[in-house]
Structure 1
Amino acid sequence: MSGVVTRGVGAAIPALFGAQRDSDCDVLFCLERRKAGEGAEGGEPSDGWETQRKRRQRQPETALSWAAAVRAEPPAGALVGEPLPGHILVLRLASERFRAQIERWDGGAGEAAVQGAEASPSSAAPRPQLRVPLGSEAEVPSARAALGYAYTGVVAADGVRAALEVRRQAAYLQIDGCTAACDELLVEMLAAGHSSRGGRCGGHEPTFAPILAAAKEALVRHFGDVLAALNTPSLRQQLLQLPAAGVEALLASKAFGTDSEDSVLLLLATWMKANHGQTDAATRERLCRLVRLVQLGRPYLTAVLPALAADHEHCGAAGTEKDQLLSFGGQLYDTKSPCYSTAARPQCLPWAGRTFEWAISQQELLAALGELQSKGRVSVHGSFVGGSRLLCARGLEWKLFLLVKYQATSADICMDCDLPAAYDVVGSRLGSSSKAVTIVGLEAHLVVHGWSRAARQDAYGYTFRAAPAHFGLGRVLTQTGARCPTALPLAQQQQAGRGGGVLKGWAAYLHDRRLTGTLTLLPAP
């Protein structure tokens, strides 16, 4: 039954679902048997339960799949959930599986029941029992919902995960029209931005292709672009929890934008360092081939990739972690790889740039100034949204900090960059003892806020351009970054100490006990 009959007798069918009225059978939910070759209910061959169970275990996870919690379950064959009153006419027409069970009952158990009734007229004939084997008790609601579609023509699911589970049960029970209805509902949900925290469904069926496509689109919409995924703490944590299929969907998407391909490689390196143990060599190679090598910028081509390639050639020196991130440097030099695509990804930075707010708390500033006299000068780092001291851009990690000298009449504001920790793998030439050196640039506009009578203004602004060599990248360099001397004039010479008096020179920059500003990343010319 592919839909609801809305006129005549058919209009009464939806109301029969779950009702004892006019019911003539019972639908029982039970745990499937686990031993190969063991029959299902009443002599059903194992090709029903056992083959389906194995098929479920082999189903690949999609971009929407997350690990489900394991719960202790009753023994195999035990009944779970409440029996559901059934109506033979409806179930016979709605499901080939139920039709086969009903025919077996009519040809076997039904005849025995009739013979028993003739021998003992006072005994009532038993109602047919139609069994639904489940993998766990948690599957009862989705199985009931699949049966409900047979009566109502409506998929009762309030989210992607629930719809996926109903779809799986409907496919197993062969409920006519239900899988197609689930597919339509899933496409609508994903298009509307619904998310899923679990659920499995076979990905090999042709009808499931639109769901996979919609899931990938929803995944890209959720993460936005590479900069959002790396610089938003919640998204970054979710990125690390994605299965390999999810990362593959992001990197393979034509709509997944970035500021540069360097950041794409950083995203992959960040995920791979956290998930290496959950991947095999073939998966890692497949993911690495999605990085578009010819689109990488000068710092990566001149420093990062050669080091990764050398690590790959001498991976024996990497000890027990030799199969980690180091290996994919060599894979990138396979000229047969799709990573040699000449098409650039969508630029995620608009012409006006993307702005990130930063702040230094009054408490942090005061603590740094308390050590000023003994050190001669101190630095205090700004924090971006989410509390991170680092901002990922151009495949590197950028830091912003103030430099304050004892008895100075102004403070300097500085920016620095470094190779991300994702590349710091034991034995790698990009590890903590790296001597890789290259020149990098950044297009960005830096602002420090000032305040006058509660009105905010730009007390300082400076635009970085990549044409001049502003930054040096390398762990052994003693001086890196760009410094803007005398950027912030102070109302009085800076003194040392921990009392509130040391902050008098900063009054023009402090508001709500914070010094604030913005860093606007601009697209490369």
Structure 2
Amino acid sequence: MFIFARILSRLTLRAQVLRWRREREPVAGGLGAASAAHGASAASSARPELRIRLASRAEVPYVRAAIRFIYTGHLGEQAGACAAELLRVRRFALQLQIGGCVEACEAAILRLVAHGGSGKGGKGPLAGVEELFSVRHLLAEKPGGADSGATGSSPAADGCPPAAAKGGAAPAGFAAAATSWDPFVARVLAACRQQLTEHCGAALVALKAAAAAGAAATAAAAAVLAGLGELLAWAFRDAPSLLSCPVGRRQLAALPAAALEALLRCEAFGTDSEASVLLALAVWVEANGGCAVRESIRRRLCRQVRLSHLSTPYLHALLPRLPWFPISREEHAFLCQYVAAGAERDAPARRKALAAVAYGKYDCTSPWYAAPPRPAGRSDAGRPYEWSVKQEDLAADLDGALHRLPHGLSGCFANGASRLVAHGFEWYPGTLWIRADGTPEAVVCCAVPTVLAAYTSSKDVIGLASAAARLTVYRWRERPDGGRHGDGRDGRSGRVREEASRTECSLESLMGVQGGGGGGTGAAEGGSGSWRLTLFGAGLEKGPGAAERLLPGLAPFLRGGRLGGALTFL
């Protein structure tokens, strides 16, 4: 076994050296052809070297650890390193494309979160989360590009001095999110959220006991609570992406009330709209007993919602119908005036005058009125949420066999969500249109969230919503080589996935909101569920025998007995 491992390591190293040398080969006829030819001749007689551009000498141990992995297949002493060291080794392993090393670093980081840190910082079940939070800028850091990458060369082939690495510390919380969705970061944050969900209650009990000791202790506890809010905002990131993930939804619902208050109070907690924040609160309230939640707790939590930034459908149609939200009919009417005044040319003066008139009756200094907008955006932007519809359900719908579809034609998302959330509403592929050429095209729809639909009807919510999103349908085609070498997409069948159709909508693309019900099973809990889908087509006639006639034309769009695509928020 040892001999086999050494042979495998040598083959791996040789393959990586050959790849690095190929990456350094000049393009024929390029500007540096003559000098490159000279370097190549020198390289033929010189021993190959791997040159890696570093920001400083302090990075040398991390590069050596990554390269050592090629020979040993394990991290060695780095396996028990702190979060910062593991993240730096991982970055160089990504940059050098060292297979297995990236995965080993990621596994070690996830163990660090679950087992209370590396022991080099604080102690306790949240020590690992706090340790990662302290180096969160490294988590968002990307491996170096061409200018700061690794090159395989000979001494004579490359005389360029190393360049300083780019990047720096990112601000805390939501603003520290990477510009593109990263599956590893998502896994780390999910693990951190789980630790916080399970253990922040004990920290809050300790804070409560300290606060009872006196005024000085109360001030110290308030500062710690604010720090907990920053930690929660970093792990929970933003409302819409959290609500689009069944696991994240359950973790949010499991937070203690004081932790949720700290999260909603924190300025770093992001959203695409305050409507999504109110929806997050609704999910928590419903999961914890609805109107049975103690009134004092509900008041504290609801006070953290920034009502003056709600969207029009939420402000006028949904907010006044929530029985657990402590706002009177009179104050709601005043709030609507206050929000409308913000759209006027002399908005500051109008709002100041309204606050003066309402002094003593309504608190216009509270977050309902005075809080600024939260950080805008969603951390899952760019993530493709894959969806699919069963082939047998398509056949039953085409044949008009409604007895085989008691709940109608429905689809589901691969992550188990019933529908996805944006701007306080739920979004899903609601229509599948078969073009004249046989290509299916999906159209996105939005509806009142299931958790709020119990308080509304189709007559209650007549409004418009929008979201920046892309909806695609996949096509599968055979590989030219028959899939002998795998394709990274569908290695089981040797088929390549491509985009058959695409529809996009922007924030300017307004659509009507479907009100009341129809959320699909499991929607309220954020668990596995489905959504209704309507099938249309150019000249499409449903009835007995339609599936036998039409499904063969859909064969290029089917894989594993499903037709699917992806919904991506932009």
Q: TM-score, normalised by structure 1?
A: 0.51
Contact 2:458 2:515 in 1 (8 A): no
SS in 2 for 1:416: strand
Contact 2:413 2:419 in 1 (8 A): yes
Q: Any idea what the Cα deviations from partners look like across 1:329-350, whole Å, max 9, x if unmatched?
A: 8776445222223522112337
**Aligned counterparts, 1:373-412, within 5 A:** 380-403=409-432, 411=440
2:558 alignment partner, one of 489, 492, 510: 510
CA distance in 1, matches of 2:559, 2:122: 52
Q: Any idea what the Cα deviations from partners look like across 1:35-82, whole Å, max 9, x if unmatched?
A: xxxxxxxxxxxxxxxxxxxxxxxxxxxxxxxxxxxxxxxxxxxxxxxx
Q: Does 1:245 align with 2:286?
A: no
**Gap runs ≥5 in structure 2:** 1-111, 133-191, 212-216, 336-361, 479-494, 519-531
Q: Which amino acid aligns with 2:307?
A: L
Q: CA shift at 1:396, angstroms?
A: 0.9
Q: CA shift at 1:245, angstroms?
A: 0.9
CA distance in 2, matches of 1:466, 1:482: 23
1:440 alignment partner, one of 459, 465, 475: 465
2:499 alignment partner, one of 447, 458, 461: 458
1:485–1:462 distance in 2 versus 1, CA, 3 Å: farther
Q: Percent identity?
A: 30
Contact 1:413 1:484 in 2 (8 A): no
RMSD: 4.4
Q: Which amino acid aligns with 2:511?
A: H
Alignment match, 2:444: 415
Q: CA shift at 1:326, angstroms?
A: 7.1
Q: Does 1:365 align with 2:394?
A: yes
Q: CA shift at 1:248, angstroms?
A: 0.8
Alignment match, 1:235: 248
Contact 2:474 2:501 in 1 (8 A): yes
Contact 1:448 1:460 in 2 (8 A): yes
SS in 2 for 1:201: helix
CA distance in 2, matches of 1:457, 1:252: 44
Alignment match, 2:301: 287
1:493–1:303 distance in 2 versus 1, CA, 3 Å: closer
Q: CA shift at 1:395, angstroms?
A: 0.5
**Aligned counterparts, 1:420-435, within 5 A:** 420-425=449-454, 430-432=455-457, 434-435=459-460
CA distance in 2, matches of 1:303, 1:202: 39
Q: Any idea what the Cα deviations from partners look like across 1:2-39, whole Å, max 9, x if unmatched?
A: xxxxxxxxxxxxxxxxxxxxxxxxxxxxxxxxxxxxxx
SS in 2 for 1:259: coil
CA distance in 1, matches of 2:312, 2:291: 31
Q: Any idea what the Cα deviations from partners look like across 1:147-190, whole Å, max 9, x if unmatched?
A: xxxxxxxxxxx999999xxxxxxxxxxxxxxxxx9994358533
1:238–1:350 distance in 2 versus 1, CA, 3 Å: closer
SS in 1 for 2:313: helix
Q: Which has the higher helix share?
A: 2
**Gap runs ≥5 in structure 1:** 1-157, 164-180, 312-321
CA distance in 1, matches of 2:116, 2:127: 14
SS in 2 for 1:192: helix
Q: Which amino acid aligns with 1:508?
A: P
Alignment match, 2:511: 470
Alignment match, 2:206: 201
1:460–1:483 distance in 2 versus 1, CA, 3 Å: farther
SS in 1 for 2:267: coil
1:284–1:237 distance in 2 versus 1, CA, 3 Å: same
Q: CA shift at 1:390, angstroms?
A: 1.2
CA distance in 2, matches of 1:390, 1:329: 31
Q: Which amino acid aligns with 2:233?
A: V
Q: CA shift at 1:458, angstroms?
A: 1.1
Alignment match, 2:278: 265
CA distance in 2, matches of 1:267, 1:328: 21
Contact 2:385 2:567 in 1 (8 A): yes
CA distance in 2, matches of 1:387, 1:295: 30
Contact 2:271 2:376 in 1 (8 A): yes
Contact 1:379 1:403 in 2 (8 A): no
**After alignment, is 228-237 or 462-471 more displaced?**
462-471
**Aligned counterparts, 1:316-355, within 5 A:** 324-325=324-325, 333=335, 334-336=362-364, 337-341=366-370, 343-349=372-378, 353-355=382-384
Contact 1:269 1:325 in 2 (8 A): no
**Aligned counterparts, 1:39-438, within 5 A:** 184-185=122-123, 188-193=127-132, 195-196=195-196, 197-198=198-199, 199=202, 200-203=205-208, 204=211, 205=217, 211-275=224-288, 276=290, 279-305=293-319, 307-308=320-321, 324-325=324-325, 333=335, 334-336=362-364, 337-341=366-370, 343-349=372-378, 353-371=382-400, 380-403=409-432, 411=440, 413-425=442-454, 430-432=455-457, 434-438=459-463
Contact 1:256 1:346 in 2 (8 A): yes
Equivalenced residue count is 322
Q: Any idea what the Cα deviations from partners look like across 1:258-296, whole Å, max 9, x if unmatched?
A: 111111111111211222366322221221121112222
Contact 1:406 1:495 in 2 (8 A): no
Alignment match, 1:42: none
Q: CA shift at 1:498, angstroms?
A: 9.7
